[in-house]
Amino acid sequence: MTTPHQQQGIQSVEIGMRVLAALEEGGGPMPLSKIAAGSGLLPGKTHRYLVSLLRSGFVTQEMDTGLYNLGPAARRLGVEALRRVDEVGTASRHASVLRDRTGHTVYLALWTDAGPSLVRQDHGWYPLPIVVRIGSILPIVDSSIGRAFLAHLPEPLTAPILAAQQRRKETSQLPPEHLAEVLDEVRRTGLATATGSVIAGLNVISAPVFGPDGHIEVVIGVAMPARFDDDRDVRSIRADLLTTARAISAELGCPARD
């Protein structure tokens, strides 16, 4: 029986995948020369593949700088791959119910090689200051979703990505003792909160969802316009979110947590 590596393939497709992989590993907009170096191709050949990838929507090119980046088709493909993870399917059912109960927009996010990525958004009844795109990478320190992941993932996994975001000024660089206090509070309460730190006028409360091994799998968040600041309403939403996160964790097989 032949293995996938032994079967005959289409070389041009494999080369195109190398170009896309070079773009993905670059972590942001890249010039032709760096894409060529990353894919092991000559610049002229790399350019021809980029033209085809541009036409298909897998790559975009910035008009002002000429730099290349992953396009909407690549984003949709990546998000769909993440959606098909069982954890997301299970959490999605609960997310829509939570949206219906609270009336507010509900987010789901997974941890990726670039940081926390939004994979689902159930729109609520209340308009938000801005719509966050599916596939967006969120700031680790400033977003409640990022804080939930940061509080529960191993530091060797998060530290390089956090450092990269801070170098690019995509997230804040809090004093270590302040960040430790924030993360301790997340672990103690089971919830992370961000009030207008990413988008002015938008408050988000998030909770971690754990899998059968007790490790964090997904983060679920509720987004509210800042005008919803009544203490009773916020307490009710926090309690509902925490109950939902625990229900998803239980359905995924997570052992009971204190």
Which of 39-48, 70-79, 109-118, 160-169 has the least mean pLDDT?
A: 70-79
d(CA 189, CA 242): 9
Question: Residue 197 carries which DSSP code?
Answer: S
CATH topology for 78-251?
Beta-Lactamase (3.30.450)
pLDDT at 98: 97
pLDDT at 1: 46
Average pLDDT over residues 158-167: 94
* Mean pLDDT for all residues in the chain: 89
Q: Interhelix angle for 231-251 vs 86-102, to 10°?
A: 150
Q: How confident is the model at residue 255 (pLDDT cuts 50, 70, 90)?
A: confident
Tens digit of each residue's pLDDT (9 = 90 or more) over 99-151: 999 999 999 999 999 999 999 999 999 887 677 888 889 999 999 999 999 99
Sorted by where each begins, the domain ranges of the chain are: 11-70, 78-251
pLDDT at 192: 96
d(CA 109, CA 123): 15
pLDDT at 213: 84
d(CA 49, CA 13): 10
Tens digit of each residue's pLDDT (9 = 90 or more) over 50-98: 999 999 999 999 999 999 999 999 988 887 776 666 788 899 999 999 9
Q: Dihedral angle at the C-alpha atoms of 146, 152, 156, 160, nearest 10 degrees? A: 0
pLDDT at 227: 79
Query: Three-state SS for 174?
Result: coil
199 token code pair:
């988008």
CATH topology for 11-70?
Arc Repressor Mutant, subunit A (1.10.10)
63 token code pair:
């008009």
CB of 115 within 8 A of CB of 150? no
Look-up: residue for tokens 């938008």?
A: 202
Q: Is 18 a residue whose pLDDT tops 50?
A: yes
Tens digit of each residue's pLDDT (9 = 90 or more) over 220-252: 999 988 877 777 888 999 999 999 999 999 988
Q: Say if strands 216-225 and 105-112 run parallel, antiparallel, or are unpaired.
A: antiparallel
Tens digit of each residue's pLDDT (9 = 90 or more) over 187-212: 999 999 988 666 767 889 999 999 98
Enumerate residues 6+ apart whose C-beta is below 8 A from 239.
none
Type and span of the H or E element at 46: helix 43-56
Question: Residue 9 carries which DSSP code?
Answer: -
